[in-house]
Structure 1
Amino acid sequence: MIGSMAPRIVPADVTDIQRVLADHSRYWGGRDLRGLHLMALVHEFGSTCLVARDEDGIRGYLIGFVTPDRTGYVHLVATRDDARGTGLGRALYGAFTDAARRQGAVRLKAITTVGNEGSVAFHRGLGFDVRVEEEYNGPGRPRVVFSRTL
């Protein structure tokens, strides 16, 4: 990684997510996912929304929460273009897993679009089961669903 210290993973606040959105393409490339960055999630689930920060800013982040049925759901996770391949995404998932367990989570879940092979490979590498749910997002709108028991 660039910089002298490894990023610290800490709870996110709204200002952190606003900084990410101001530099959105460094995390998401050409995909415009700004509309998925719901500030209410950060306000209401702050202990499971995380940023990885070092002296060069926010290297990566994860927005997640624990559902009433004790599922730790990862809504978004991204690493900045200069932090990819460093293990930071895996570290964010590890920190989220710890936070979700503290809230009683017994499983993890995330979704992605069909065809997002990078996300599928990443989640498989973390031990997730992978399946396509044809109607997950409505008629004719399938999603890949990742799940893993804790």
Structure 2
Amino acid sequence: MIGVRPAAPSDYDRIIAVVDDWWGREIHGILPRLFLDHFHRTSLVAESGDDLAGFLVGFLSPSQPDTAYIHFVGVNPAHRGAGLARRLYETFFALAAADGRTAVRALTSPQNTGSIAFHKAMGFTTTHAPSHDGPAPRVLFHRSLPQPVSPGR
């Protein structure tokens, strides 16, 4: 059984120790410690016993009060294909909606076709941005969140 819980700052060391292996390339530079120091309450960790099964690093935008942002997601290769990434995303969507957020955003590189396909399957729309994040092109993801219906409506 895989459990999902809010992240803690101390989870950073476990996560950063595996990301390069999980991606098969050096990727740790885009996940500085500050994300779990400052956004651990809106980030998630998935565990199977004592083993790290996956994680999602996300936050509620302090500048765009309707938006939540997913910065980094990883699933242990041993747990891929079983719906864990979907479960992490859906847990984050619920957290964001409960805070009144109406949209979730994320981004990736155009070469990351697996990520693009996953986000589309999760209901995200895509926009190609040739210089959104510096000179490297990016694919921007956007997904609207359903808002709870107030009683009496």
TM-score (norm 1): 0.89
How far is the alpha carbon of 1:26 from its aligned partner? 3.8
- How do 1:119-138 and structure 2 match up within 5 A? 119-138=115-134
* Aligned amino acid, residue 123 of structure 2: G
Find the counterpart in structure 2 of residue 80 from structure 1.
76
How far is the alpha carbon of 1:50 from its aligned partner? 0.5
Find the counterpart in structure 2 of residue 104 from structure 1.
100
Find the counterpart in structure 1 of residue 41 from structure 2.
47
Q: Which runs of 5+ in 1 are unaligned?
A: none
* Aligned amino acid, residue 114 of structure 1: P
How far is the alpha carbon of 1:66 from its aligned partner? 1.0
Identity of aligned residues (%): 35
How far is the alpha carbon of 1:28 from its aligned partner? 1.6
8 Å CA contact 2:128–2:139 kept in 1: the answer is yes
How far is the alpha carbon of 1:20 from its aligned partner? 1.8
* Aligned amino acid, residue 140 of structure 2: V
How far is the alpha carbon of 1:120 from its aligned partner? 0.4
- Is 1:27 aligned to 2:22, yes or no? yes
TM-score (norm 2): 0.87
Q: What number of residue pairs does the alignment pair up?
A: 143
Cα RMSD for the two superposed structures: 1.3
Q: Give, in whole Å, the separation in 1 of the partners of 2:76 and 2:29.
A: 18
8 Å CA contact 2:46–2:53 kept in 1: the answer is yes
Q: Give, in whole Å, the separation in 1 of the partners of 2:71 and 2:102.
A: 17
Find the counterpart in structure 2 of residue 114 from structure 1.
110
Q: Compare 43-52 and 114-123 and name the one that shifted more.
A: 43-52
Find the counterpart in structure 2 of residue 14 from structure 1.
9
How far is the alpha carbon of 1:56 from its aligned partner? 4.5
Question: Post-superposition, which runs of at least 4 consecutive aligned residues in structure 1 deviate over 3 A?
Answer: none
Q: Which structure would you say has the larger Rg? A: 2
Q: Which runs of 5+ in 2 are unaligned?
A: 146-153
